[in-house]
C-alpha cells in the first residue's frame, strides 16, 4: 500500500471539532494549548463552543482547521505509534490545508503555522471590501470548458477566474460580485448543469487577493523553515516539491492562483498511491477522491473511532 495524507480547507469546519480528542489525549491538548499561546487567543474555545459566527470568521477558521488536523497527526504519532513521515509517499492540502500539510511535513513549526494562517485569514478578508467579491461553484463543466464562461463574464473592470479545479465537472469561480452574478445567470448557456454562489466573504484565489499575497510574502521572511520531510504536492503545481524556499514561493502564489486539486489527485494515482487519508474536519477531499477514482481507497479521519480504524489497518 502507498499512502497520501491530505488536509482539508475552508468550509469543513464545525463547532465542536477537537473536543473529543482533547478530552481523551494529552497530545491533542498540547496542540490546542500551543496554538492558543501562539495566537494569544483562546481559539480552542471558539472551535469547541462557538458561536458559529466566530468560527466561520476566516481569521479563526484557517488556524482552527490546521490545529484540528495537527492534533490528529500528533495523536496518531504519540498514542498510536504511527510515524506519518515514514508512512506517507506524499502530503497535500486544499488551500489553507497546504499549510497543514507543510506543518505535518516539518516545514514550519506548529506555532508559526498558526500565526501564518491567522495573518493569512485576516489579509485575505481585508484584501477587498466586504461584498465586492465572491465565489461560485460551476457543476458540469470541465476546467478547460469553463474558460469560455469566464471570458464571457469578465471585462476590464470586473473579472472572474477559475479558483479551484476540484474534480472533473466541479470548478469554483472567484472574482468581482458583478462577474460572479453574471456567471450564475448564464452558466447553463455554456453547458453547465448549474452554477451556485458560495457563502464566502471574499474572492479567494483570484487576482483580487494580491494585497494578501504581498502581506504573506513579508511574513514568510521572518519564519524559520526547513525542507519538507515528505514530498508536498503544491496546489499551484500539482507536482511535489520539498525545498522550503520553493514551498514558500508557491504558498504565496497560491493566494492569487488556482488550486489544482483535480490534477493533484491524478498525480497521486499516476504515482500508484493506493490509499488517500484525509486528516481533519469533514469529508470533502475523501469524497472528491472516491467520486473521481474508484480504485483509490479514500478515507476521512476525524474521530477517535476513525483514528483507531486507521491505526489498525495501516
Q: Which of 95, 167, 174, 286 is catalytic?
A: 95
Other CB atoms within a 10 A radius of the CB of residue 187 amount to: 25
Q: Which of 69, 154, 205, 286 is catalytic?
A: 205
The C-alpha atoms of residue 123 and residue 101 are separated, in whole angstroms, by 21
Compute CA distances 207 → 57, 145, 214, 238, 258, whole Å.
Answer: 21, 21, 12, 20, 10
Active site residue 303: no
Active site residue 95: yes
Residues belonging to the active site: 95, 205
Amino acid at each position: 500500500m502507498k499512502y497520501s495524507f491530505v488536509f482539508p480547507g475552508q468550509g469543513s469546519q464545525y463547532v465542536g471539532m477537537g473536543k473529543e480528542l482533547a478530552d481523551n489525549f494529552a497530545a491533542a491538548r498540547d496542540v490546542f494549548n500551543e496554538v492558543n499561546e501562539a495566537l494569544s487567543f483562546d481559539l480552542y474555545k471558539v472551535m469547541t463552543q462557538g458561536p458559529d459566527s466566530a468560527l466561520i470568521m476566516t481569521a479563526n477558521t484557517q488556524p482552527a482547521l490546521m490545529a484540528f488536523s495537527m492534533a490528529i497527526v500528533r495523536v496518531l504519532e504519540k498514542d498510536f505509534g504511527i510515524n506519518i513521515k515514514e508512512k506517507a509517499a506524499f502530503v497535500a492540502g486544499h488551500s489553507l490545508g497546504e499549510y497543514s500539510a507543510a506543518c505535518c511535513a516539518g516545514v514550519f513549526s506548529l506555532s508559526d503555522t498558526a500565526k501564518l494562517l491567522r495573518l493569512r485569514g485576516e489579509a485575505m478578508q481585508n484584501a477587498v471590501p466586504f461584498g465586492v467579491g465572491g465565489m461560485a461553484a460551476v457543476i458540469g463543466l470541465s476546467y478547460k470548458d469553463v474558460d469560455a464562461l469566464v471570458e464571457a463574464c469578465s471585462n476590464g473592470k470586473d473579472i472572474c477566474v477559475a479558483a479551484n479545479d476540484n474534480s472533473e465537472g466541479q470548478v469554483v469561480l472567484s472574482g468581482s460580485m458583478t462577474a460572479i452574478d453574471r456567471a450564475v445567470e448564464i452558466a447553463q448557456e455554456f453547458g453547465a448543469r448549474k452554477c451556485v454562489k458560495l457563502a464566502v466573504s471574499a474572492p479567494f484565489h483570484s487576482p483580487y487577493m494580491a494585497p494578501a499575497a504581498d502581506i504573506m510574502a513579508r511574513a514568510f521572511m521572518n519564519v524559520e523553515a526547513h525542507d519538507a520531510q515528505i514530498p508536498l504536492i503544491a496546489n499551484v503545481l500539482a507536482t511535489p516539491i520539498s525545498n522550503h524556499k520553493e514551498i514558500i514561493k508557491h504558498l504565496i502564489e497560491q493566494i492569487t492562483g488556482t488550486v489544482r486539486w483535480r490534477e493533484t489527485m491524478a498525480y497521486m494515482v499516476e504515482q500508484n498511491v493506493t490509499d488517500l487519508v484525509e486528516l481533519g474536519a469533514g469529508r470533502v477531499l475523501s469524497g472528491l477522491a472516491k467520486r473521481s477514482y474508484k480504485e483509490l481507497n479514500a478515507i476521512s479521519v476525524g474521530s477517535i473511532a476513525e483514528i483507531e480504524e486507521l491505526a489498525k489497518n495501516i
